[in-house]
Amino acid sequence: MATQHSRSAARLMMAPAVILLLGWMLVPLTMTLWFSFRRYLPLRGGDQGWVGFDNYVRFVSSSSFWPAVQTTLIIVGGVLVITVVFGILLALLLDQPMWGQGVVRILVIAPFFVMPTVSALVWKNIFMDPVNGLFAHLWKFFGATPVEWLSQASVQSIIMIVSWQWLPFATLILLTAVQSLDGEQLEASEMDGAKPLQRFGYIILPHLARAITIVVLIQTIFLLSIFAEIFVTTGGAFGTKTLSYLIFQRVLESQNIGLGSAGGIYAVILANIVAIFLMRIVGKNLDA
């Protein structure tokens, strides 16, 4: 009785939050869906009625669609590989007892607190500037011609910037996983004759599998929508136009809300495909 009663009371009390969250999600999604089927050019005649799947066909048949998908996947994949690999190495390093461990750990986390716009600008102007950047000076010091990072190696530069931002996140999660490894397991494997690399491969890495999947999953969700880093560095030029950047251009630069909304729906579908794919891997890893 009491439980039944409190359960319905709980439902009642949760209702405002649930309704708010549902509205938060459903209203923009429905509006995007609505606009994606309309010809809507704010500066060239406004809402001009239904066009069916016209926007969808135009978005996909545009010459910049497939390159944008490709760029998105390259950036996401590149950042994931770099953050996971270096995240594991850093986590193992930070797990070693050393002087000033607390301070070092905070320093490692620091990049995560810097806003994407700010960090991209810092990289662009202080490190990658071909005339006054630190890299340019370094190159000149060794007598080499400075690299024009953002035009000659634009995608790589963006991967570097975004990796720098997300490495702390990966390191932090992997560090907690490394710390949760039972020391006796490592000692047992040592007595069983496993050498350091074998201990890493057979004991530490399998133990980290779960944390790695979580890092990959969470980062993918956020990396699919990176925008500020591209906007303030290349502005979508030199092959750095991702799907989200393409949508931005369609809506704001071409002033075509219908076309941009159709792109948004494609992005939702792409994100879901990736999510389902990842959930299956995660599900398999979390079962163990």
Partner 1 sequence: MGQITLEKVSKTFGDVEVIPPLDLTIEDGEFAVFVGPSGCGKSTLLRLIAGLEDVTSGKMIIDGSEATTVPPAKRGLAMVFQSYALYPHMSVRKNIAFPMKMAGIDPAEQETRIEQAAAALNLTDYLDRKPGQLSGGQRQRVAIGRAIVREPAAFLFDEPLSNLDAALRVGMRMEIGELHKKLATTMIYVTHDQVEAMTMADKIVVLRAGVIEQVGSPLELYRTPRNVFVAGFIGSPTMNLIEGPEAAKHGAHTIGVRPEHIDVTEGEGTWSGVVGVAEHLGSDTFFHIHQTGLAETITVRAPGEVSFKHGDTIHMTPRPDLIHKFDAKGLRIE
- The residues of the shown chain that bind partner 1, judged by CB under 8 A, are 182, 184-185, 187-194, 198, 202-203, 206-207, 209, 288
Are the C-beta atoms of 162 and 117 separated by less than 8 Å? no
**Closer Cβ to partner 1, 42 or 206, answer by number:** 206
**Closer Cβ to partner 1, 131 or 288, answer by number:** 288
Separation between Cα atoms, residue 87 and residue 134, nearest integer Å: 25
Q: Shortest approach of partner 1 to residue 210 CB, angstroms?
A: 10
In the 8-state DSSP scheme, what is residue 38?
A: E
**Closer Cβ to partner 1, 61 or 96, answer by number:** 96
Give just the sign of the alpha carbon dihedral 97, 202, 212, 241: positive
**Closer Cβ to partner 1, 203 or 259, answer by number:** 203
Separation between Cα atoms, residue 202 and residue 171, nearest integer Å: 20
Which amino acid, residue 215?
A: V
Which amino acid, residue 280?
A: R
**Closer Cβ to partner 1, 77 or 201, answer by number:** 201
Burial 9-22 (b: 16+ CB within 10 A, else e): eeeeeeeeeeeeee
Are the C-beta atoms of 157 and 141 separated by less than 8 Å? no
What backbone torsions phi and psi does residue 145 show, to the nearest 5 degrees? Answer: -80, 130
**Closer Cβ to partner 1, 23 or 206, answer by number:** 206
Q: Shortest approach of partner 1 to residue 185 CB, angstroms?
A: 5
Q: Shortest approach of partner 1 to residue 97 CB, angstroms?
A: 13
What 3-state class would DSSP assign to 148?
Answer: coil
Q: Shortest approach of partner 1 to residue 194 CB, angstroms?
A: 5
